[in-house]
Amino acid sequence: MTHTHPGGVTWTLGEAEDYKRQRDGETMKLWVWRSACAVCGAPIQVKTVTTDPETPATGRNLLKKHCPEHAWKFPAKGEKLGQRK
Ligand SMILES: [Zn+2]
């Protein structure tokens, strides 16, 4: 399954990982999405709790467009330069 985010990045859905939530210790699935940095093409990935890109939490994660090296130069909409660590 692939999803092209309105931000312009096409994500490919990969495998699910088991994730133990810190707050209550509950085990849940995290889905891995893979894409490439919009600048250099380096592999990037995000993890989401559902495979539905229409949910706000997933959609927000899929806003990512850049590898760590380039993220600070190209802030996502609503972010300020230098905000990311
Ligand atoms: Zn990059």
The 3 state secondary structure assigned to 47-79 is EECCCCCCCHHHHHHCCCCCCHHHHCCCCCCCC
28 alpha carbon, distance to own chain's centre? 17
Count Cβ atoms below 10 Å from residue 58 Cβ, excluding itself: 21
Distance 28 CA to ligand 1 centre (A): 30
pLDDT band at residue 3 using 50, 70 and 90 as cut-offs: very high
What DSSP designation does 76 have? P
Distance 54 CA to ligand 1 centre (A): 26
Distance 66 CA to ligand 1 centre (A): 5
Tokens describing residue 5: 């985010």
Reported as a single tens digit per residue, the pLDDT across 7-39 is 778 999 999 999 998 999 999 999 999 999 999
Q: How far apart, in whole angstroms, are the C-alpha atoms of residue 49 and residue 33?
A: 11
Distance 22 CA to ligand 1 centre (A): 30
